[in-house]
Protein backbone atom coordinates (compact mmCIF):
# COMPACT_ATOMS: atom_id res chain seq x y z
CA UNK A 1 0.00 0.00 0.00
CA UNK A 2 1.33 3.48 -0.84
CA UNK A 3 1.52 6.55 1.39
CA UNK A 4 -1.62 8.01 2.99
CA UNK A 5 -2.92 11.11 1.22
CA UNK A 6 -5.95 11.73 3.45
CA UNK A 7 -6.30 10.54 7.06
CA UNK A 8 -9.71 11.00 8.62
CA UNK A 9 -10.05 10.64 12.39
CA UNK A 10 -13.32 10.75 14.35
CA UNK A 11 -14.90 13.03 11.74
CA UNK A 12 -18.33 14.33 12.72
CA UNK A 13 -20.74 16.73 11.11
CA UNK A 14 -23.91 17.62 13.01
CA UNK A 15 -26.43 20.06 11.54
CA UNK A 16 -28.48 21.98 14.13
CA UNK A 17 -32.28 21.71 14.08
CA UNK A 18 -33.71 25.17 14.83
CA UNK A 19 -37.24 25.91 15.99
CA UNK A 20 -39.35 28.79 17.26
CA UNK A 21 -39.17 32.53 16.68
CA UNK A 22 -35.78 32.72 18.43
CA UNK A 23 -34.41 29.89 16.28
CA UNK A 24 -33.43 27.84 19.29
CA UNK A 25 -31.39 24.71 18.61
CA UNK A 26 -33.59 21.81 19.65
CA UNK A 27 -31.47 18.97 18.35
CA UNK A 28 -28.97 17.89 15.73
CA UNK A 29 -29.02 15.87 12.53
CA UNK A 30 -26.00 13.61 12.90
CA UNK A 31 -25.13 13.40 9.20
CA UNK A 32 -21.61 12.11 9.85
CA UNK A 33 -21.01 10.56 13.23
CA UNK A 34 -17.42 9.50 13.82
CA UNK A 35 -15.52 8.33 10.74
CA UNK A 36 -12.03 6.87 10.74
CA UNK A 37 -10.36 5.94 7.47
CA UNK A 38 -7.40 6.62 5.22
CA UNK A 39 -7.21 7.30 1.49
CA UNK A 40 -3.90 6.16 0.05
CA UNK A 41 -2.09 7.92 -2.79
CA UNK A 42 -3.17 6.68 -6.22
CA UNK A 43 -6.10 4.58 -5.03
CA UNK A 44 -9.83 4.91 -5.54
CA UNK A 45 -11.78 4.57 -2.34
CA UNK A 46 -15.47 3.98 -3.00
CA UNK A 47 -18.09 5.09 -0.49
CA UNK A 48 -21.51 3.46 -0.76
CA UNK A 49 -24.75 3.47 1.18
CA UNK A 50 -28.40 4.40 0.93
CA UNK A 51 -29.50 8.02 0.30
CA UNK A 52 -29.09 10.15 3.41
CA UNK A 53 -26.38 7.98 5.00
CA UNK A 54 -23.88 10.86 4.99
CA UNK A 55 -21.73 10.02 1.95
CA UNK A 56 -21.91 13.46 0.32
CA UNK A 57 -21.51 15.26 3.66
CA UNK A 58 -18.35 13.21 4.21
CA UNK A 59 -16.93 14.32 0.85
CA UNK A 60 -17.71 17.96 1.55
CA UNK A 61 -16.34 17.80 5.10
CA UNK A 62 -13.06 16.31 3.83
CA UNK A 63 -12.66 19.17 1.36
CA UNK A 64 -13.68 21.67 4.09
CA UNK A 65 -16.56 22.93 1.94
CA UNK A 66 -18.51 22.58 5.20
CA UNK A 67 -16.93 22.89 8.63
CA UNK A 68 -16.72 19.56 10.48
CA UNK A 69 -18.22 19.57 14.00
CA UNK A 70 -15.39 17.47 15.37
CA UNK A 71 -12.43 15.38 14.25
CA UNK A 72 -9.40 15.66 12.01
CA UNK A 73 -8.84 15.53 8.26
CA UNK A 74 -5.13 15.32 7.52
CA UNK A 75 -3.92 16.01 4.00
CA UNK A 76 -0.31 14.80 3.58
CA UNK A 77 0.01 14.99 7.36
CA UNK A 78 -1.48 18.50 7.79
CA UNK A 79 -4.79 18.88 9.59
CA UNK A 80 -7.23 20.84 7.42
CA UNK A 81 -9.81 21.29 10.20
CA UNK A 82 -9.45 24.76 11.69
CA UNK A 83 -6.66 25.69 9.25
CA UNK A 84 -6.30 29.41 8.42
CA UNK A 85 -8.23 30.43 5.29
CA UNK A 86 -5.08 31.61 3.47
CA UNK A 87 -3.32 28.29 4.09
CA UNK A 88 -6.40 26.31 3.11
CA UNK A 89 -6.74 28.37 -0.08
CA UNK A 90 -3.24 27.27 -1.13
CA UNK A 91 -4.08 23.60 -0.56
CA UNK A 92 -7.47 23.81 -2.26
CA UNK A 93 -5.94 23.46 -5.70
CA UNK A 94 -4.73 19.98 -4.72
CA UNK A 95 -8.27 18.84 -3.84
CA UNK A 96 -11.14 19.23 -6.25
CA UNK A 97 -14.69 17.98 -6.55
CA UNK A 98 -16.82 16.61 -9.37
CA UNK A 99 -20.48 17.15 -8.57
CA UNK A 100 -23.47 14.90 -9.04
CA UNK A 101 -25.69 17.07 -11.16
CA UNK A 102 -23.99 18.10 -14.42
CA UNK A 103 -26.98 20.35 -15.17
CA UNK A 104 -26.86 22.41 -11.98
CA UNK A 105 -23.09 22.46 -11.44
CA UNK A 106 -22.29 24.65 -14.48
CA UNK A 107 -23.06 28.38 -14.31
CA UNK A 108 -25.53 29.02 -17.20
CA UNK A 109 -24.22 32.59 -17.69
CA UNK A 110 -20.67 31.50 -18.44
CA UNK A 111 -19.18 29.90 -21.53
CA UNK A 112 -17.41 26.58 -21.10
CA UNK A 113 -14.10 28.40 -21.51
CA UNK A 114 -15.00 30.81 -18.70
CA UNK A 115 -16.07 27.94 -16.44
CA UNK A 116 -12.74 26.14 -16.87
CA UNK A 117 -10.82 29.42 -16.61
CA UNK A 118 -12.37 30.30 -13.23
CA UNK A 119 -10.08 28.17 -11.03
CA UNK A 120 -7.05 29.23 -13.12
CA UNK A 121 -7.87 32.89 -12.44
CA UNK A 122 -8.75 32.45 -8.75
CA UNK A 123 -5.44 30.71 -8.09
CA UNK A 124 -3.52 33.00 -10.50
CA UNK A 125 -2.18 29.99 -12.42
CA UNK A 126 -2.46 31.25 -15.99
CA UNK A 127 -3.48 34.36 -17.92
CA UNK A 128 -3.99 35.46 -21.55
CA UNK A 129 -2.80 33.06 -24.23
CA UNK A 130 -1.39 30.64 -21.64
CA UNK A 131 -4.86 30.41 -20.06
CA UNK A 132 -6.48 29.75 -23.45
CA UNK A 133 -3.89 27.08 -24.24
CA UNK A 134 -4.65 25.38 -20.91
CA UNK A 135 -8.44 25.49 -21.59
CA UNK A 136 -7.91 23.85 -25.00
CA UNK A 137 -5.66 21.23 -23.46
CA UNK A 138 -8.19 20.39 -20.73
CA UNK A 139 -11.07 20.14 -23.19
CA UNK A 140 -9.03 17.74 -25.33
CA UNK A 141 -8.06 15.65 -22.29
CA UNK A 142 -11.74 15.03 -21.45
CA UNK A 143 -12.68 14.21 -25.04
CA UNK A 144 -14.11 17.59 -26.11
CA UNK A 145 -12.68 20.03 -28.63
CA UNK A 146 -11.31 23.56 -28.43
CA UNK A 147 -14.36 24.80 -30.36
CA UNK A 148 -16.55 23.90 -27.38
CA UNK A 149 -14.93 26.63 -25.25
CA UNK A 150 -17.15 29.34 -26.76
CA UNK A 151 -20.41 27.50 -26.13
CA UNK A 152 -22.67 27.49 -23.06
CA UNK A 153 -23.44 24.59 -20.70
CA UNK A 154 -27.05 24.19 -21.83
CA UNK A 155 -25.89 23.37 -25.37
CA UNK A 156 -24.38 20.08 -24.17
CA UNK A 157 -25.73 16.66 -23.24
CA UNK A 158 -25.48 15.35 -19.66
CA UNK A 159 -22.37 13.29 -20.40
CA UNK A 160 -20.64 16.23 -22.10
CA UNK A 161 -21.50 18.51 -19.19
CA UNK A 162 -19.96 16.05 -16.78
CA UNK A 163 -16.83 16.05 -18.96
CA UNK A 164 -16.76 19.85 -18.61
CA UNK A 165 -17.09 19.46 -14.82
CA UNK A 166 -14.16 17.03 -14.87
CA UNK A 167 -12.08 19.43 -17.01
CA UNK A 168 -12.76 22.19 -14.45
CA UNK A 169 -11.73 19.87 -11.61
CA UNK A 170 -8.49 19.00 -13.45
CA UNK A 171 -7.56 22.61 -14.24
CA UNK A 172 -5.32 23.02 -11.19
CA UNK A 173 -3.56 19.64 -11.44
CA UNK A 174 -5.16 18.28 -8.27
CA UNK A 175 -3.93 15.23 -6.37
CA UNK A 176 -7.32 14.29 -4.90
CA UNK A 177 -10.71 14.36 -6.60
CA UNK A 178 -13.87 13.78 -4.63
CA UNK A 179 -16.41 12.51 -7.17
CA UNK A 180 -19.86 12.80 -5.62
CA UNK A 181 -22.25 10.52 -7.53
CA UNK A 182 -20.63 11.68 -10.80
CA UNK A 183 -22.60 9.34 -13.05
CA UNK A 184 -25.92 8.80 -11.26
CA UNK A 185 -27.69 11.56 -13.23
CA UNK A 186 -26.50 10.14 -16.57
CA UNK A 187 -27.99 7.55 -18.93
CA UNK A 188 -26.55 4.07 -18.42
CA UNK A 189 -24.87 4.14 -21.85
CA UNK A 190 -23.06 7.36 -20.95
CA UNK A 191 -22.14 6.25 -17.43
CA UNK A 192 -19.50 3.79 -18.63
CA UNK A 193 -17.90 6.44 -20.88
CA UNK A 194 -17.49 8.83 -17.96
CA UNK A 195 -16.24 6.04 -15.65
CA UNK A 196 -13.67 4.98 -18.27
CA UNK A 197 -12.61 8.60 -18.68
CA UNK A 198 -12.09 8.93 -14.91
CA UNK A 199 -9.98 5.75 -14.91
CA UNK A 200 -7.86 6.95 -17.85
CA UNK A 201 -7.30 10.33 -16.18
CA UNK A 202 -6.31 8.65 -12.93
CA UNK A 203 -3.55 6.79 -14.72
CA UNK A 204 -2.48 9.77 -16.79
CA UNK A 205 -2.33 12.28 -13.92
CA UNK A 206 -1.66 10.01 -10.94
CA UNK A 207 -4.92 11.01 -9.27
CA UNK A 208 -6.45 9.74 -6.05
CA UNK A 209 -10.25 9.43 -5.93
CA UNK A 210 -12.87 9.36 -3.26
CA UNK A 211 -15.74 7.98 -5.33
CA UNK A 212 -19.17 8.39 -3.76
CA UNK A 213 -22.12 6.47 -5.21
CA UNK A 214 -25.13 4.41 -4.30
CA UNK A 215 -24.78 2.06 -7.29
CA UNK A 216 -22.69 -0.89 -6.09
CA UNK A 217 -21.84 -2.15 -9.58
CA UNK A 218 -20.37 1.24 -10.53
CA UNK A 219 -18.38 1.44 -7.28
CA UNK A 220 -17.10 -2.11 -7.73
CA UNK A 221 -15.89 -1.30 -11.23
CA UNK A 222 -13.83 1.75 -10.32
CA UNK A 223 -12.72 1.26 -6.69
CA UNK A 224 -9.74 -0.46 -5.08
CA UNK A 225 -11.31 -0.46 -1.63
CA UNK A 226 -14.91 0.20 -0.59
CA UNK A 227 -16.39 1.67 2.56
CA UNK A 228 -20.05 0.90 3.33
CA UNK A 229 -21.86 3.68 5.19
CA UNK A 230 -24.96 3.45 7.33
CA UNK A 231 -26.46 6.37 9.22
CA UNK A 232 -23.33 8.51 9.37
CA UNK A 233 -20.81 5.76 10.11
CA UNK A 234 -18.71 3.36 8.04
CA UNK A 235 -19.77 -0.15 9.06
CA UNK A 236 -17.36 -2.08 6.84
CA UNK A 237 -14.27 -1.10 4.83
CA UNK A 238 -12.43 -3.65 2.74
CA UNK A 239 -10.68 -4.45 -0.50
CA UNK A 240 -13.41 -4.54 -3.17
CA UNK A 241 -12.93 -8.21 -4.09
CA UNK A 242 -13.02 -9.30 -0.46
CA UNK A 243 -16.06 -7.16 0.20
CA UNK A 244 -18.01 -8.54 -2.75
CA UNK A 245 -16.88 -12.17 -2.32
CA UNK A 246 -17.18 -12.43 1.45
CA UNK A 247 -19.16 -9.55 2.98
CA UNK A 248 -19.09 -9.73 6.78
CA UNK A 249 -21.32 -6.96 8.16
CA UNK A 250 -25.06 -7.81 8.07
CA UNK A 251 -25.80 -4.48 6.34
CA UNK A 252 -23.17 -5.11 3.65
CA UNK A 253 -24.62 -8.59 3.09
CA UNK A 254 -28.10 -7.11 2.63
CA UNK A 255 -26.87 -4.41 0.23
CA UNK A 256 -24.91 -6.88 -1.89
CA UNK A 257 -27.78 -9.35 -2.00
CA UNK A 258 -29.75 -6.71 -3.91
CA UNK A 259 -27.14 -6.39 -6.71
CA UNK A 260 -28.45 -8.17 -9.83
CA UNK A 261 -26.37 -11.18 -10.86
CA UNK A 262 -25.43 -11.23 -14.58
CA UNK A 263 -25.48 -15.05 -14.52
CA UNK A 264 -29.16 -16.17 -14.39
CA UNK A 265 -28.09 -19.73 -13.45
CA UNK A 266 -26.48 -18.53 -10.22
CA UNK A 267 -29.27 -18.08 -7.70
CA UNK A 268 -28.63 -15.87 -4.73
CA UNK A 269 -30.76 -15.24 -1.70
CA UNK A 270 -32.09 -11.72 -1.41
CA UNK A 271 -31.96 -10.28 2.11
CA UNK A 272 -34.85 -7.88 2.56
CA UNK A 273 -34.24 -5.30 5.27
CA UNK A 274 -37.06 -4.55 7.70
CA UNK A 275 -38.36 -0.98 7.97
CA UNK A 276 -36.80 2.27 6.84
CA UNK A 277 -33.49 3.92 7.63
CA UNK A 278 -34.01 5.65 11.02
CA UNK A 279 -33.75 9.44 11.22
CA UNK A 280 -30.19 10.74 11.72
CA UNK A 281 -31.77 13.33 14.06
CA UNK A 282 -32.71 10.53 16.43
CA UNK A 283 -30.55 7.48 15.68
CA UNK A 284 -31.18 4.23 17.61
CA UNK A 285 -29.02 3.52 20.66
CA UNK A 286 -26.23 0.95 20.46
CA UNK A 287 -25.66 -0.26 16.92
CA UNK A 288 -27.75 2.08 14.76
CA UNK A 289 -28.50 -0.83 12.43
CA UNK A 290 -30.01 -3.01 15.19
CA UNK A 291 -33.74 -2.35 14.48
CA UNK A 292 -33.23 -3.79 10.97
CA UNK A 293 -30.62 -6.45 11.66
CA UNK A 294 -31.58 -10.12 11.52
CA UNK A 295 -28.54 -11.01 13.69
CA UNK A 296 -29.32 -8.49 16.42
CA UNK A 297 -28.21 -9.52 19.92
CA UNK A 298 -28.98 -7.99 23.33
CA UNK A 299 -25.70 -6.06 23.43
CA UNK A 300 -26.48 -4.45 20.04
CA UNK A 301 -29.40 -2.49 21.52
CA UNK A 302 -27.24 -0.61 24.03
CA UNK A 303 -23.54 -0.73 23.11
CA UNK A 304 -22.16 0.98 20.02
CA UNK A 305 -19.82 -1.44 18.20
CA UNK A 306 -16.25 -0.20 17.73
CA UNK A 307 -14.92 0.17 14.18
CA UNK A 308 -11.83 -2.01 14.19
CA UNK A 309 -9.62 -4.27 12.10
CA UNK A 310 -10.81 -7.88 11.73
CA UNK A 311 -9.17 -10.30 9.25
CA UNK A 312 -7.56 -7.52 7.22
CA UNK A 313 -10.66 -5.35 6.93
CA UNK A 314 -12.38 -2.81 9.15
CA UNK A 315 -15.79 -3.55 10.59
CA UNK A 316 -18.16 -2.24 13.28
CA UNK A 317 -20.27 -5.17 14.50
CA UNK A 318 -20.58 -7.10 17.78
CA UNK A 319 -20.64 -10.39 15.84
CA UNK A 320 -16.89 -10.03 15.35
CA UNK A 321 -15.81 -9.04 18.84
FE1 LIG B 1 -26.41 -6.53 13.72
FE2 LIG B 1 -25.50 -6.33 16.19
FE3 LIG B 1 -23.80 -6.36 14.17
FE4 LIG B 1 -25.34 -4.25 14.58
S5 LIG B 1 -23.74 -4.98 15.92
S6 LIG B 1 -24.94 -5.22 12.65
S7 LIG B 1 -27.21 -5.20 15.29
S8 LIG B 1 -25.16 -8.01 14.80
pLDDT of residue 202: 96
The atom of ligand 1 lying closest to the CA of 287 is 4
The response to whether residue 122 sits with its C-beta less than 6 Å from ligand 1 reads: no
State residue 5's pLDDT score: 98
Does the pLDDT value for residue 91 go beyond 80? Answer: yes
State if residue 289 touches ligand 1 by the CB under 6 angstroms criterion.
yes
Q: Which residue has its alpha carbon closest to ligand 1 atom 3?
A: 317
The residue-averaged pLDDT of 108-137 equals 93
**How much is the pTM?**
0.93
Q: What is the 3-state secondary structure (H, E, C) of the chain?
A: CCCEEEEEEEEEEEEEEEECCCCEEEEEEEEEEEEEEEEECCCEEEEECCCCCCHHHHHHHHCCCCCCCEEEEEECCEECCCCCHHHHHHHHCCEEEECCCCCCCCCCCCEHHHHHHHHHHHCCCCCHHHHHHHHHHHHHHCCCCHHHHHCEHHHCCHHHHHHHHHHHHHCCCCCEEEEECCCCCCCHHHHHHHHHHHHHHHHHHCCEEEEECCCHHHHHHHCCEEEEEECCEEEEEEEHHHHHHCCCCHHHHHHHHCCCCCCCCCCCCCCCCCCCCCCCCCCCCCCCCHHHCCCCCHHHHCCCCCCEEECCEEECCHHHC
Which residue CA neighbors atom 7 of ligand 1 most closely?
Answer: 290
**Could you tell me the residue ranges of all domains in the chain?**
4-320
Among 230, 247, 255, 289, name the best residue to mutate to test ligand 1's pocket (greatest count of ligand atoms within 8 A of Cβ): 289
Q: How far is ligand 1, taken at its centre, from the CA of residue 295, in Å?
A: 6
Q: How far is the CA of 288 from the centre of ligand 1 (A)?
A: 8
Looking at residue 75, what is its pLDDT?
97
4-320, which class in CATH? Answer: alpha beta
pLDDT at residue 1, rounded to an integer: 58
Amino acid sequence: MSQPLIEVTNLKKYFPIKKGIFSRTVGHVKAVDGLDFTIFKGETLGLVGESGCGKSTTGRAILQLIDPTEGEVKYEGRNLVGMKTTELHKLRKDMQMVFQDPYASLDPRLTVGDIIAEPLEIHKIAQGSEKNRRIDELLNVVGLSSAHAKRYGHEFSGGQRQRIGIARALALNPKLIVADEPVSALDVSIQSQVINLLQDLQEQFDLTYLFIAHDLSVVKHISNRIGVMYLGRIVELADKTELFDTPMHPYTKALLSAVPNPNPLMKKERIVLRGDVPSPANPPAGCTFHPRCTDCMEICRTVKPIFKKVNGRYIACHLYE
